[in-house]
Amino acid sequence: MALLGTLVVRRFAIRLDFVDRPAGHKGHQSPVALGGGIAIVLAVVAPIVLGTALARIFGVDDLPAWMPQLYITHAEGIASKLGVVLAICGGALVLHVVGLIDDRRALGPLPKFVVQFAVALFIAGPMGIRAVEALGAPMSIAVTALWIVLITNAFNFLDNMDGLSAGVAMIVAAIFGVTSMMAGQVFVPVLAWVVAGSLLGFLVFNFSPASIFMGDAGSLVIGYMLAVLTILTTFYDPSKGTEPLGVIVPVVVLAVPLYDVTSVVVHRLRLGLSPFRGDRRHFSHRLVRKGLTERGAVLTIYLATAATGLPAILLPTTNWTGAILILLQCLCVVMIIAILEHTDNAEAGDRDAS
């Protein structure tokens, strides 16, 4: 769906002049079609909503015989998730519409933040999809909303080079898919793999040199979906013998996007600039300044994400010694990134002084 949808959207975007023109900090040399987020969102929302609704419409006993046996086996559980699915997908569609408007005519950070927090509070409040529930409802809702907004913007910030945000999100979604499968869940891994597959189809046209961009209409949604996946996944369940350190799996898996958004915001604030003003201070841009091609920089960040994320799959089941080693490896990867950024800053300072 994402592959075919991207083809169609790209054609119509060019006809309707819905394109991203090179200007300011943007690195592309000619107009590139926008709207890739439409294909991604369609490929995520349609199968999830349809698959859940069918179980509710037909009922457990009246499902057609041609349905896959696995679907029939879990039909009752699938049907029970319809409300949750509609809420999650409804939030995604709201962010998608806001992103489309922003792609067409820049809204500025405040309206986008207001909508993001409204969606996050709805998910954490009335829908009860919350993290750290041991803190009590008010604190849990606040922490969950902040987490959703943070990850949403982390992938929006990461969308600064061809194939970067989509590729990193695909790796992260796949890792959460494996983790939730190991936890014995059904709905969460299905959602994770649908997200991963949608991004893979889009990447065919978005990897450098990209012929279409996802825009905010896509990046806001994939960040939001990944944040929701981290909350829905069971990382710690004493009844299944998993370890408490499993709860930090999301932070380890998302270490690279979190580092990127944090470092960029800090750099901009130090220069007295708005943290939401686009520039070329991201880790990907620093790698290119060091001599890598854009493809090389993107692949390097893919590998860094995999290097922190893949070992994190074992955190819920490993002992404390293994967990400490996994955390140390994650820290080493982040420190390598920090060193590369620091040397880039030093070289820039030398050039300015000369």
* Per-residue pLDDT reduced to its tens digit, 235-273: 877 777 677 778 899 999 999 999 999 988 888 888 888
Among the listed residues 172, 191, 309, 180, the one whose alpha carbon sits nearest the alpha carbon of residue 237? 180
Q: Torsion angle of alpha carbons 210, 167, 158, 169, nearest 10°?
A: 140
Instruction: Determine contact, residues 295/161, Cβ cutoff 8 Å.
Output: no
* 40 token code pair: 């991604």
Residues 6+ apart with CB under 8 A from 198: 1, 2, 39, 40, 43, 44
Q: Determine the pLDDT at residue 353.
A: 39
φ, ψ at 21 (rounded to 5°): -90, 145
Q: Is the predicted pLDDT of residue 25 greater than 70, yes or no?
A: no
pTM metric for this prediction: 0.91
- The total of other beta-carbon atoms located within 10 Å of residue 60's CB is 15
Cβ atoms within 10 Å, residue 41: 28
* pLDDT for 344: 60
Cβ count near 280 (within 10 Å):
15
pLDDT of 300-332, one tens digit each?
999 999 999 999 999 998 888 999 999 999 999
Q: How far apart are CA 60 and CA 72, in angstroms?
A: 7
Q: Which amino acid is at 51?
A: G
> Is the model's pLDDT at 22 over the cut of 90?
no
60-98 per-position pLDDT tens digit: 777 888 888 888 888 888 888 999 999 999 999 999 999
